Structure 1
Amino acid sequence: MKRLLLVGAGHANAQVLRSLADAPLPDVEVTVVTPNVLAPYSGMVPGWLSGAYDFSEICVDFGPLAAAAGATLVVGELRELAPDQHRATLANGVTLDYDVLSLNVGSTLNPPDLPGKLVLSLRPLGRLRQSWETLLAEIRNSPADSSFTVTAVGGGAAGVEALLGCLARLRALQPNRKIRGTLATRGKALLPGLAPGAVRAAHKTLANAGVTVLLDTEFNETIADTSDLILWATGAQAHDWQRNSGLALSDQGFIRIDEQLRSVSHPNVYAVGDCAEWDKPLPKAGVYAVRMGPFLVRNLRAALGDGSSEAYKPQRNFLVLLATGDHRAIASRGGWSAHGALLGRPLWHWKDHIDRKFLNRFVFSASPKVAPHSQTERILEGQQ
């Protein structure tokens, strides 16, 4: 009996479970570890922040998905990895042994500690729900006769989309309140990598939303003092456990992988998405985890004795549909862009269709079940 351990409820590991639901592997014991059974799909998070979706609409439910795949679901968080011993230790002390490991845990952020300030970190996504819902409750109960300033720190897509979404939601909650927006980035331009036309459209959208854009600006005390809510959306950071994992890492602490998505130091460990780093680093964007998914599926199956592996080759350009918080979107691919009063809403509906179609692949109605094996018994004992 071989043991496959999936750590993280990311877009690629979801595709692995979907594959196992369609075509189970005999004599393979599958365990999936996630801190949250409901795993938000990153592409729909801005729409949820703006109020366009309920939280349940943007999530993959890993309970029925794991059950359909015949996998044991463990609600927990990785604390320590011992790749030479083929063992993972969770925060609750449970240890899990594996023959093949797939890491799809995303990245994190370490915002500054600012006493008295509301700081909302946009990573990890699993913790964002509670923070945002707590904030909304506080806003509902706060006086509407004072101004309120929301500042996003970070000039990438996450910062732009989150700021526009938050402003839309807060203004809908308190339409008579003066709610301002600021975006600060140390970069010299917004949205690096997007088409020039899309960047211009984003600047116009931000201006129309009353947002002051501060380029080439480090976050500082003045910005903090003049902000009531700070959205922390700077560059992705590696989880602490990665730095002590024994895996080969990049200078930033991300797991170095080869063309088969394997750790360059431990070939029975696979890593995809934000937690991994290619020889030529890829942007930390959810689209790469989605695109890596089919290759991860094939290569994990090959590692477990089913078929042959395949090299992943990142595509040079990909479509970006930037949500603007008002049921509109800006499109960008390579040097091409689409936007404007006539196209904004159709682009949003296109984005909504693509995102829902992706999520619908993982919808199952079965309840989670526990397979009768010794490792499962240890898991349950650790959770009691």
Structure 2
Amino acid sequence: IYDSTGKRKGKDYARWNDVYDTLRGKYGKRSSAFDPTIKAPTADQKAMYVAAPIYHNNQIFGVLTTVKSTIDLKPFVLEQKQQINQYAIYLFLISLLFGAGASYVVSRGTNKLVRYTTALSRGENVVAPKIRQVEFAELSKAIEKLRVDLEGREYVEEYINTMAHELRTPITGIKVTAENLLMPMDDEQKERFIHNILDANNKMDLLVNRLLNLSRIERRDQLENIEKVNVKDIIKDVVQSPSRKGNIALRSIELYYDIERDFSIKVEKILVEQALGNILDNAIDFTPVGSTIAIKVSESNTHVNIQVFDQGQGIPEHARRQLFRRFFSSSRPDTGKRGNGLGLRFVKKIMSLHGGQVSLNNRFMEDGAVATLKFPIKV
């Protein structure tokens, strides 16, 4: 009875799905040709028909059908398709970034563990890395605990073996000397043998004390009493120490400060004084009487360097790789005696605790060696 286009008025649509279903109280819709004369319409020639019931006295007595050509919907469909494509691209990029971030976080933790375990396999003294991922952090802690346990067992075994080996010589000397004292001899010979026993006893006492100090310092993994101290004051205290004043008096000490101000560093003072003292004692032992020992202090953007130059014979080629090995020692040029071989090992551990470095090399184009203590500058 009504058609907005005026083309379908008076025609019977009772059998079409949209009208047929709606008259029976169902949802009426269909997709057919927009032009009824077209028998095989293409997608662009179709239209969507949606019907709604017309009520009178609560009864359906008619149908109102709305028609929309698919060609009219095409711009909307294309627009929605473009938006969906954009959303898909955004989602892909977000997923890519998230995946890259997750991969970076995971690989960062694994790379730290790989570097840590590789360093351990080379026998390096490294600190366990700090990892935020719970799983890798637990693995890192487990590896560190295993390392500490194994090192503890190996350390005790090595400690006992080396201590027994080093004590054997003075103990044997005391035994032989004591046996000689049982034989008839004059007072001068007895006094000489007694001095030999006392000398061997002093060596054992010094060795045991050095071993105990080294043992304590090697089991530490961090500094304890950190304070800000002036570099010049540290050098002054070490040089003027009563324990080495007599030996220094036989040689001249020259100090060079290649720094613009009184420089202070954050360190554990007692340990640094012990480290520098060991280096200076070595320089005294290997520098002939009447020669000069030079101490030079310089700075860079990141480090303070304390260098000790001696005028000895330098470092033999065979000794270079063993300088910091426990109990390795070279004979002193004036007496032919050897040290206990613990001093440089002690120095290396102290510098490691401070995040610094120690090196010992021959001087360039001059006789003697130079020892360098390299301390990081901490704000």
TM (normalized to structure 2)?
0.20
TM (normalized to structure 1)?
0.20
Larger RCO (alpha carbons 8 Å, 6+ apart): 1
Higher helix proportion, which one?
2
